Amino acid sequence: GAVVSQHPSWVICKSGTSVKIECRSLDFQATTMFWYRQFPKQSLMLMATSNEGSKATYEQGVEKDKFLINHASLTLSTLTVTSAHPEDSSFYICSARVQRGRTYEQYFGPGTRLTVT
């Protein structure tokens, strides 16, 4: 249980185009999902928190107009990188939170490798 999928697993796009990444919780409902970004040889950096039915909350320094997040249902959140540039090339990882008894656990997707040329 608690499987999170991402699509696509990798994508190459040209500079100036937009790319959409999907994150799905396959066997549970997630009211909250998170988006992380990871550059080579660095740790994961939290970009934003996505709540179903409401606007995402972005971490300091993350441009909300560039990284559009939509959490349209309890099993799907999307991240759209708009007008992508080479510096946006990174590994994007989503995570979904689920309640387990009195605790809340986060499960991670396999990641999406974005390369902007």
- Residues forming contacts to another protein in the complex (CB under 8 A) are 4, 6, 32, 34, 36, 43-46, 49, 91, 93, 95, 97, 99, 102-111, 113
Min dist CB 52 to another protein, Å, is 14
List of residues 6+ apart from 46 with CB closer than 8 A: 34, 35, 36, 59
70 three-state secondary structure: strand
Query: Would you say 15 or 39 has its CB closer to another protein?
Result: 39
3-class state of residue 76 by DSSP: strand
Q: Which is nearer to another protein, 44 or 82 (CB)?
A: 44
Task: Please report where in the chains the tokens 């972005």 appear, as a residue.
Answer: 58
Closest to another protein by CB, 57 vs 70, is 57
3-class secondary structure, 67: strand
What's the closest the beta carbon of residue 97 comes to another protein, in angstroms? 8
